Amino acid sequence: MKYPKLRNGPSPVGEALARHMNRLRAPWLTTIAGDVVANKMGARSEVFQGAPDAIYSLGYERAAAPNDFSVRGTRSFFAPFVRVGSWDRGRFDTPAFAPIGEGRGVVPVAVSPGVAALYVSRYARTFRELVQFAYSEDPYSAYAWSLYTLGRSLHADHQNAFGVLGYVMYDVGGTFDSFGAWVFTKDNGETFDQTGFSYGPGWRHGAPSANRLDASTLLVTTPTYVTKDAAGFNDNFDPTLSFAVTIRGDGEWSVTDVGALLDFSYPSPAVLASFMRESTNRMIWDDLAGLRGVRLSNGGSLFVANAYGYDRVFDPSGFETPNPALSANLAIFTSAGTGAYARTGTLTLPNAFTVGRMLVVGDKPVIFLPPDLTLNPAGRSHLVVFTPTGMVEAVRELPFSPHLVSANLFALDESTIAVPAYGARQGVEGYRVFRSTDYGETWTPFTTISRSADPPPLGDNFLQNYGDVAWLRDGGRPASLSPGAPWQTDDRLPKPWSA
């Protein structure tokens, strides 16, 4: 037999496990003994040893009971997930269990009208409430709050900084004060504080969106809506007043000039003084929520968005000139730092799309683009790969039907992309993690999340059930929040542009 590959040093136990599995007829096997994991992969075998990893995914097993959530986990990406717990502390549409550092993860969920909470766990068997926070409903937003992690920030004394970004509105003597709220911790979740940003009472803002550029830079965009004769709000007919701020790891924030990044196209203020405010406000929120950005390894930054928001045309009466082709274009913006963005390119995709997760793997940014099935019912999911300087390198069509693959890409290391998807391995279908070591050119099944759960429903433009993976610990140590580019979430590490 071939000698097993010893991934992290000699292991007599692992070698014995590998020899035993090679005597068996099954081509793919995994055996775990203590902190040793042995894998048989056809004619090859490998051995890992050391403290176990902690990797989890949250979803449901029965489509008829979509709020009966299971937590499934594994001690190694080379071993299948098993059920380790359940979630019964609240209901939500899309399950999310997100890492926050220090080997822990949180589930954000509404606990009562206007109040939400983060529940934290280390082993996903039990959860405890970490913090509660107030929020208000934004009628134009698809969500009320979002969790963002910065990582080990210089401005937080290299402790883990993370928080929840939401929208809050108060009645102040008949005038509404609405603002973007950042409920945050700068000490690994020991204490929490809150800050907010707005133009002041009377302005109607909405739920902010954000992109983490590095452990000290969270770029937040806050919508400013157009209003007329709305009780508690000023009249405002200018749709271009949404703004950006940069939040540091200690919660301090500053207004940021982002150049052309917010130069979206809307009906004129004269038109909005008369009508079309509701549809315009929905466009404002959609445009800001569709921005995706990352820090580049050369010290600059890259942002992308669907070009429809920038290039649509309105006639003098405020009616849009139909041009469905715009929704297949990706607008590309770059900056030499983290502000003053310029539009540097437009990429045409094979079909209309929405935007998924964007990350850096090695020194190359990648973004997942699910199809917009309302415009292209036969559309496909695509992966766009960029060069280290933000130029388009490749466009890959994913080998999955859209409803079978998640939009939540993640990295296993600085050369491997992974994504949850529903697919077959040796003829058996199930929810699995697929991986690619060639930036999406080929994908292979890596590990199984669940083979017993009902298949995904038709019609969704991306997979939602078991659609994300929380990697909390790597060999017993806290896993990186950005394994594809560890420097992005750890200010203790040197930045590639300063090497």
Cβ–Cβ under 8 Å, residues 8 and 49: yes
CA neighbor of 205 nearest in space, from 231, 179, 227: 179
CA 302 – CA 358 distance, rounded (Å): 10
CB 143 within 8 A of CB 207: yes
Count Cβ atoms below 10 Å from residue 72 Cβ, excluding itself. 25
pLDDT digits (tens, 9 = 90+) for 244-299: 999 999 999 999 999 999 999 999 999 999 999 999 999 999 999 999 999 999 99
What does the pLDDT read at residue 1?
A: 45
Spatial neighbors of 499 by CB under 8 A, at least 6 apart, are none
139: in domain:
yes
Higher pLDDT residue, 447 or 25? 447
Mean pLDDT of the chain: 91
Triad 276, 278, 284: Cα angle to 5°: 100
Predicted local confidence at residue 413, as pLDDT:
95
Long-range contacts of 15-18 (CB under 8 A, 24+ apart): 15/47, 17/47, 18/45, 18/46, 18/47
Query: What total number of domains does the chain contain?
Result: 2
Please tell me the predicted confidence (pLDDT) of residue 248: 94
pLDDT, residue 40, reads: 75
Q: Which of 422, 453, 479 is nearest to 160 (CA)?
A: 479
Percent of the chain past pLDDT 70, that is, above it, reads 94
Distances (CA, A) of 424 to 72, 352, 433, 442: 19, 27, 11, 15
Q: Which two tokens stand for residue 464?
A: 């939602």
Query: Is residue 234 one of the residues assigned to a domain?
Result: yes
Residue 491 inside a domain? The answer is: no
Q: Are residues 167 and 282 in the same domain?
A: yes
Residue 214 pLDDT: 95
Distance CA 281, CA 224 (A): 8
Tell me, what's the pLDDT at 112?
Answer: 87
DSSP 108: E
* pLDDT tops 80 at residue 35: no
Average pLDDT of the residues in 369-396:
96
Same domain, 278 and 155: yes
Is residue 7 very low, low, confident or very high in pLDDT (cuts 50, 70, 90)?
A: low
Residue 48 has pLDDT above 70, yes or no: no
Residue 267: Cβ within 10 Å count: 24
Instruction: Write the pLDDT tens digit of every residue in 181-221.
Output: 999 999 999 999 999 999 999 999 999 999 999 999 999 99
Question: Are 241 and 139 in the same domain?
Answer: yes
Q: Where a domain ends, among 289, 312, 347? A: 289
Q: Tokens standing for 481?
A: 């929040």
Residue 232, both tokens: 């508690």
Q: Which residues are bridge partners to 402 per DSSP?
A: none
Is 353 inside a domain boundary? no
Determine, yes or no, domain membership for 476. Answer: no
Phi, psi dihedrals of residue 143, rounded to the nearest 5°: -150, 160
Residue 456 in domain: no
Q: Across the chain, how many H-helices and E-strands are there?
A: 4, 33
Residue 14: pLDDT band with limits 50, 70, 90: confident
Same domain, 162 and 270: yes
Which of 244, 266, 289 is a domain's end point?
A: 289
157 and 29 fall within a common domain: no
Judge whether residue 499 has pLDDT over 80. Answer: no
* Domain contains 144: yes
Q: What angle do CA 154, 51, 122 make, to 5 degrees?
A: 60
Query: Is a pLDDT exceeding 80 seen at residue 91?
Result: no
DSSP string covering 223-242 = -B--BSS-TTS--B--TT--
Regarding predicted confidence, which is higher, 12 or 161?
161
pLDDT band at 498 (very low <50, low <70, confident <90, very high): confident
Residue type, 55: I
Rounded average pLDDT over 344-364: 97
Say if 429 falls within a structural domain.
Answer: no
pLDDT (tens digit, 9 = 90+) per residue, 306-321? 999 999 999 999 999 9
Read off the DSSP letter of residue 19.
H
Closest CA to 397 of 412, 409, 382: 382
Query: Does the pLDDT value for residue 18 go beyond 90?
Result: no
pLDDT value for 2: 55
User: Is residue 491 scored above 90 in pLDDT?
Assistant: yes
What's the pLDDT tens digit per position in 437-449?
999 999 999 999 9
Q: Answer yes or no: do 153 and 269 share one domain.
A: yes
Last residue of a domain, one of 289, 310, 335: 289
Residue 463 in tokens: 């997979």
110: left (phi over 0), alpha (psi -120 to 50) or beta: beta
Sign of CA dihedral 29, 33, 35, 36: negative
Owning domain of residue 277: 135-289
